[in-house]
Amino acid sequence: MELYFLGTNAGIPTLQRNVTSIVLRLLEERRSYWMFDCGEGTQQQVLKSPLRLGKLEKLFITHMHGDHLFGLPGLISSRGYQGGTSPLTVYGPPGIKAYLETSLSLSQSRIPYKLEIIEHTGGLIFEDEGFKVEAGLLEHRIDSYGYRIVEKDSPGSLNTELLKAKGLKPGPLYGKLKKGFDVMTEEGETIHATDVLSKPKRGRVITILGDTRPCPGALHLSLDADLLLHEATFSQDLTDMAYQYYHSTALQAAECAKEAGARRLLLTHFSSRYSSFDELVPLLEEARSVFPETQLAEEFTAFPIYRR
């Protein structure tokens, strides 16, 4: 599991960075990936990356500002031309359904796969046996949401050496033990799952916030996150401007991570006034003064999400 960046800029694209698009790669967990926001030019960024649109399973939009969704109709259309046949689900705030249906209808786009569009106003928006996703309202000029992705705990590993010593060969009984059920050998011995199963593997928590200034919603979604992705549009000397435009500084992102008890912080959504990566270093230093485990997001770069 890792985060991969297709765009890290705020507002408009520049020669150095494209507008927002983030990918949560789940190749080992689901053989697919999820995308968060899809700014203009995202499909062009995909072509420069190792990603394949056919593997895109879910797409989450944080809010209805153009730098977060103008690339959506083109990407959805192109997915079919690039071999995408599996279903795709788009989640977003009210308005995303009308925006997509109008764009795709008027452009007479042909979508050769099942496209589901789900509007939400926060709360639990997805859950299956492996993951659940919660959305929460943030504080921005329009309704903007953050997403908390929770990987469910997985069973521990079987002590296969001990099982073989007890005469139990690999097969269906191994599966029952893995699920926590006791089994009985042909000799009548009961093998307790707790004796041959290690502790469950703790699931990871990833928080991906949309545009926001500091608010309780951001803190709630970030609690105990293994990785927090937070916007850092401005440096601390522009705190007043950040507040006026409903954005955050790098220092404010770090304060959120610290208060929430997050393990790592990634900064993104940088103002175009910081044209080069070197000009972002002061933002990184400001954040690290409060929260040392901070990194800057970089386009076409993967950031692994480690288990505790």
**Which two tokens mark 84?**
């995408």
Dihedral (Cα; 58, 306, 277, 62), 10-degree rounding:
30
What's the CA gap between 92 and 259, in Å, rounded? 27
What's the CA gap between 238 and 44, in Å, rounded? 32
Orientation angle between helical segments 96-106 and 72-81, nearest 10 degrees:
60
Active site residues: 67
Binding-site entries for Zn(2+): 63, 65, 67-68, 140, 211, 269
- Give the CA count within 13 Å in the CB-facing half-sphere of 217: 21
What's the CA gap between 10 and 268, in Å, rounded? 8
Length of the chain: 308
> Token pair 């959506």 is at which residue?
72
Alpha-carbon Rg of the chain, whole angstroms?
A: 22
Binding-site entries: 63, 65, 67-68, 140, 211, 269
> Token pair 């927002």 is at which residue?
20
Classify residue 16 by its DSSP letter: S
Alpha carbon distance, N-terminus to C-terminus of the chain: 13
Do residues 2 and 25 make contact, with C-beta atoms less than 8 angstroms apart? Answer: yes
What's the CA gap between 59 and 45, in Å, rounded? 16
Q: Which of 130, 126, 122, 125 is nearest to 146 (CA)?
A: 122
What's the CA gap between 217 and 215, in Å, rounded? 5
What's the CA gap between 77 and 178, in Å, rounded? 42
